[in-house]
Structure 1
């Protein structure tokens, strides 16, 4: 199971690349708190990407799940620097032996300390290219489009992603 945080969904939607989510072989979910943040608040603020994520939920690409109250979720909610949505993503991934899809380094560091597997948005793009869902050029365009929309990727990571994409050509 892939458990999505807000940032990957927002920037894949901004780049019109949510089909990458549809191509993943495991179930793709987002906690209700992420849905509220991305879709409900996003639509209220007039963001077109929010409508794209809502459509992905409506068409079954993504499923909204409610988190179970667990000791881990309670502990994560108390962590400074983690939002309620971040805590829900990590707890859901841990409960269902899933992969938390998040880009924020603090959340990924907490996940590592808790033994929760994480992947980021760039990983999903590389996976889509590797599996032939999109070609390397489309992968580069997706990364660049997300960057143009405000997605953060350090220059070092960007260089590694581009080199990896070039290796698929």
Structure 2
């Protein structure tokens, strides 16, 4: 699941700016593989919204994960630090790609291509982490 703020940021703005991935995510939501949920106006959400270094989308993801006792997908170091301080578990985007491969939704080639496309699109990934992700893709293929 994701939040309305993430949908607006990633899908609506992404489509307006011509990002192909925005259409892919829109289709995933339309096909029911990912839902868009409202975030309760909890004390945590209100506190996170006041943090000038977090976008409303980031604040809503952390609050929604907390609300559902789930895991937030956060790549930015600051967002992970805030999540840790609030005891909200996190994983990164690469985790999702690896899970999709592990669950046979993506082939090894598709998983590697996805990671490569993310890097090409500006997703920061340290070289040692990239190598680790690539090795994990290979391991899951065995």
Indicate whether the TM-score tops 0.5: yes
After TM superposition, the structure 1 = structure 2 runs for residues 18-97 of structure 1, keeping only pairs within 5 Å, are 29-97=1-69
Q: Could you list the runs of 5+ residues in structure 2 that have no partner in the other structure?
A: none
SS in 1 for 2:104: coil
Are residues 49 and 125 of structure 1, via their aligned partners in 2, closer, same or farther at CA, if it must alter by over 3 Å? closer
Give the drift of 1:65: 1.1
Q: Residue 103 of structure 1: which of 71, 75, 86 is its match?
A: 75
Q: Deviations over 1:13-51 (max 9, x none)?
A: xxxxxxxxxxxxxxxx11111111112222222333222
Measure the CA separation in 1 of the matches of 2:89 and 2:117. Answer: 26
Are residues 75 and 160 of structure 1, via their aligned partners in 2, closer, same or farther at CA, if it must alter by over 3 Å? same
- How many pairs does the alignment contain? 141
Give the drift of 1:104: 1.1
Q: Deviations over 1:77-97 (max 9, x none)?
A: 122311111000000100111
Aligned CA-pair RMSD: 1.6
Give the drift of 1:161: 1.1
SS in 2 for 1:81: coil
Q: Could you list the runs of 5+ residues in structure 1 that have no partner in the other structure?
A: 1-28
Measure the CA separation in 1 of the matches of 2:57 and 2:31. Answer: 23
Residue in 2 that maps onto 1:115: 87
SS in 2 for 1:82: coil
- The question of 1:153 aligning with 2:125 is answered yes
- Give the number of the structure with larger relative contact order, counting CA–CA contacts within 8 Å between residues 6 or more apart: 1
Residue in 2 that maps onto 1:166: 138
Give the drift of 1:159: 1.7
Are residues 44 and 130 of structure 1, via their aligned partners in 2, closer, same or farther at CA, if it must alter by over 3 Å? closer
